[in-house]
């Protein structure tokens, strides 16, 4: 099945994004050639992600759905950068995403094939290692410490106001509870993470398939 574009056809979507870019970076640069050349690949990547997310209708992309549009702008910026190594259009798409959705997700970051952004506001993502079926909520941070970046295995959920910093490893199925910081620590697989005493973490086995709330194939 093809991906249905809500409210726009292909040409209209290109013009819509170009006008959004101009509203944020009002210079003379024309992003249309890059967008036109790589839009189909970006939409193909978005299609896979949309169809995996349980909360979204399959085969349907609505640019006025903020989380979907946020995801699309990342895929478009990353696709253009990977295919061309040029930075002009990816940088403007990154700035647009930051302005519209208050997310700091640089175009060079390698996000997985399938991820879900619940609320984008305040999300900051470093150049870390991200596994598939990643879930991100508002004010979640993945950051480096002294040049060391975290590793997030598949099936990680970061609820609101969480942080994963430094040489941390979040093993498969780690669910980080609201407000918890994981700093230079290794979690237990398929456990929820809570704040413990004296800066330590507390772990509790997950009692149900939390990822199944988010993804069709989990």
User: Once rounded to an integer, what is the mean pLDDT over residues 63-70?
Assistant: 98
CATH number at residue 202: 2.160.10.10
Domain boundary among 56, 71, 105: 105
Total domains present in the chain? 2
Specify the DSSP element, H or E, that contains 117. Answer: strand 115-117
200 pLDDT tier (thresholds 50, 70, 90): confident
Considering the domain boundaries, does residue 218 fall inside one? no
Cα end-to-end distance, the chain, whole Å: 21
- The boundaries of the domain holding residue 123 are 115-213
In a domain, 205, yes or no: yes
The string of DSSP codes covering 180-208 is -EEES-BPPTTEEEEE-STT-EEEEE-SS
Rounded Cα distance between 113 and 111, Å, is 7
pLDDT of residue 15: 98
Q: What's the predicted TM-score (pTM) here?
A: 0.97
pLDDT for position 199: 76
User: Residue 1: which pLDDT band, with cuts at 50, 70 and 90?
Assistant: confident
Which whole number is the average pLDDT over 63-83? 98
Confidence of residue 177 (pLDDT cuts 50, 70, 90): very high
Residue 27 reports pLDDT greater than 80: yes
Q: What's the pLDDT tens digit per position in 3-13?
A: 999 999 999 99
In sequence order, which ranges of the chain are alpha helices (DSSP H)? 10-24, 32-52, 66-84, 88-101
One-character DSSP codes across 25-49: S-SS---HHHHHHHHHHHHHHHHHH
């Amino acid at each position: 099945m093809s991906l249905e574009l809500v409210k726009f056809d292909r040409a209209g979507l290109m013009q819509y994004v170009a006008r959004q870019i101009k509203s944020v970076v009002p210079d003379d640069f024309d992003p249309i050639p890059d967008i036109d050349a790589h839009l189909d690949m970006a939409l193909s990547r978005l299609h896979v992600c949309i169809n995996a997310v349980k909360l979204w209708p399959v085969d349907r992309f609505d640019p006025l759905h903020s989380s979907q549009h946020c995801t699309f702008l990342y895929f478009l910026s990353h696709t253009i950068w990977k295919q061309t190594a040029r930075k002009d259009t990816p940088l403007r798409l990154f700035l647009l995403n930051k302005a519209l959705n208050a997310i700091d997700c640089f175009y060079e970051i390698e996000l997985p094939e399938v991820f879900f952004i619940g609320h984008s506001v305040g999300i900051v993502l470093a150049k870390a290692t991200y596994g598939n079926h990643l879930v991100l909520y508002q004010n979640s941070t993945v950051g480096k410490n002294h040049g060391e970046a975290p590793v997030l295995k598949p099936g990680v959920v970061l609820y609101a106001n969480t942080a994963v910093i430094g040489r941390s490893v979040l093993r498969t199925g780690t669910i980080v509870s609201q407000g918890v910081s994981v700093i230079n620590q290794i979690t237990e697989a398929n456990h929820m993470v809570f704040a413990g005493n004296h800066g330590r973490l507390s772990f509790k086995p997950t009692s149900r398939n939390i990822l199944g709330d988010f993804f069709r194939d989990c």
